[in-house]
Amino acid sequence: MLDKTLRFAITALAAIGGLMAADRVTPNLSAIIELEFLRVGIFGITIATILPFFVGAVVGGLVGYLVAPFFVKKLWQFTFWGEARLNKMPVNDILAGSLGLAIGLIIANLLGSAFLPIPFVGTYIPVIISIVFGYLGISVAIRKRDELFGLFTHVPWISKEKQKDRPASGGQYKILDTSVIIDGRIADICQCGFIEGILLIPGFVLEELQHIADSSDVLKRNRGRRGLDILNRIQKELGMYVKIDNRDFEDIAEVDSKLVKLGQVIQGKIITNDYNLNKVAELQGVPVLNINELANAVKPVVLPGEEMVVHVVKDGKELGQGVAYLDDGTMIVVDGGKRHIGETIGVLVTSVLQTAAGRMIFAKPKAL
C-alpha cells in the first residue's frame, strides 16, 4: 500500500514538474500555433494556451509513473541503510548530531541570505552552503559530544543518559579485547572470583573474533573458535554478567584505538595481555588490567642465595650457559649449565631480573 502511495506521489510531482516546464515554453508555442479553431476560448483563455499545459502534465506524469518504481526502490534502500546506521549509534551521538545539524543549517541560512541578490548564482550558493555547514555541524557535534553534553550536566534527562554508561553497582566496566579472550586465562580468573562487575564485549571485538573464526587458516580458525567458546563459558557456566556494546566509532579504523576510545567514553577498564595496547591506553588515561602482569605478580618470589632443583633442557645464548624452566614457565639461566643438559641438578640463585615479558632467574650449579 505504501509503495502505491509513493508511486502516486512521484507521478503527481512529475506531472506538476511537466506543467511548470510547459509554463516556460507556452509563450513560444502560442506564437507558433496559429490555427483558427485553437484561438477559440473563454475569458481570453484559448485552446492554444491550455494545450501545452495539458501535454506537459500528461508527459511529466507518464515519465514519473514509469520511473517511480526505481525511485521507490532506492528510497527504501536508503531508508534501511539509515535505520541500520542509527541503530548502531548511541542516543548521545544521535542527539549531538541533530543539534549540530540544526546549528549548521542556521549558520548556513544566515550566510546564504547574503548571496540571494546576486543574479543566477544567488539561487544555488545557499544550497551548497547548507549542505557543507549541515555536514560540518553533524561531524563536529558527534566528535565533541562529551564536551557538548558537559555544558548541560545540570539538565536532568542528559544526566540520566550519561549515567546509563556506568554500571548500576557503582564499579567500572571491564572491557575485554580480542587477545585476552583468545588467551582463555580470563575464564579461570573469573572462576576464582578475582573479576567483579560487568564484562563488556564491544561489537567490533566480536566481529574480529568472527572473522578469525571464519579464516581459511586452520590455526587462526581454531583460535577464533576458542575465543567464542571462552565467552560462552564465562557467560553461561561461570555466571558472569556479560554485556554486548554495539556502539562503533566509524572515524577510527584500528580495533585497539576503538577500545581506548570506548574506555574513555564509559570510563571503564580494559583487560588485555597486549603490551602495546597497555602502553597506549595508559598514555591516554584509560586504566588497564594486564593478564601477563597478574601472572607475573602471583609467581613465587625467589631471592638471591636460595637453592632449587631444576632440569636443564637446552643451552643458553652465552657460552657455557644452560636453560631450565619452572612449572609456571619462568626461565632459569644456569651459568656453566651447558654440560648438564638433560640432567636434574641443584642450583644456587644469583640474581632475579623482572622484564616486561616476565621474570628471569640467573643461577649457578650448586657446589658439591
> Of 217 and 168, which is predicted with more confidence?
217
Q: Same structural domain for residues 332 and 242?
A: no
pLDDT at position 88 over 60: yes
Q: Same structural domain for residues 133 and 6?
A: yes
Q: Same structural domain for residues 331 and 199?
A: no
Reported as a pLDDT band with limits 50, 70 and 90, residue 3 is confident
Which residues have CB under 8 Å from 105's CB, separation 6+?
130, 133, 134, 137
Q: Same structural domain for residues 259 and 328?
A: no
Q: Same structural domain for residues 188 and 229?
A: yes
Q: Same structural domain for residues 237 and 289?
A: yes
Q: Same structural domain for residues 313 and 292?
A: no
CATH number at residue 260: 3.40.50.1010
- What's the predicted TM-score (pTM) here? 0.49
Considering the domain boundaries, does residue 35 fall inside one?
A: yes
Considering the domain boundaries, does residue 162 fall inside one?
A: no
Considering the domain boundaries, does residue 284 fall inside one?
A: yes
Q: Same structural domain for residues 122 and 43?
A: yes
Instruction: Tell me which residue range forms the domain holding 79.
Output: 2-143
Give me the number of domains the chain comprises: 3
Reported as a pLDDT band with limits 50, 70 and 90, residue 11 is confident
Domain final position from 246, 277, 296: 296
Q: How far apart are CA 173 and CA 233, in angstroms?
A: 19
Q: Same structural domain for residues 313 and 205?
A: no
Q: Same structural domain for residues 318 and 289?
A: no
Considering the domain boundaries, does residue 169 fall inside one?
A: no
Nearest to 272 by CA among 288, 254, 250: 288
Lowest mean pLDDT among 21-25, 109-113, 114-118: 21-25
CATH number at residue 357: 2.40.50.110
Q: How far apart are CA 214 and CA 231, in angstroms?
A: 17
Q: Same structural domain for residues 61 and 104?
A: yes
pLDDT at position 69 over 70: yes
Considering the domain boundaries, does residue 123 fall inside one?
A: yes
Q: What is the pLDDT of residue 324?
A: 92
Considering the domain boundaries, does residue 80 fall inside one?
A: yes
Reported as a pLDDT band with limits 50, 70 and 90, residue 368 is low
Q: What is the DSSP letter of 115?
A: G
- Read off the C-alpha cell for 214: 571464519
Considering the domain boundaries, does residue 104 fall inside one?
A: yes
Considering the domain boundaries, does residue 302 fall inside one?
A: no
Q: Same structural domain for residues 215 and 289?
A: yes
Domain final position from 270, 296, 322: 296
Lowest mean pLDDT among 124-138, 231-245, 332-346: 231-245
Tell me which range, 48-62, 148-162, 191-205, is most confidently predicted by mean pLDDT. Answer: 191-205
CA distances from 364 to 117, 139, 287 (A): 92, 64, 40
Question: Are 189 and 291 contacting, i.e. CB atoms less than 8 angstroms apart?
Answer: yes
Domain final position from 296, 316, 341: 296
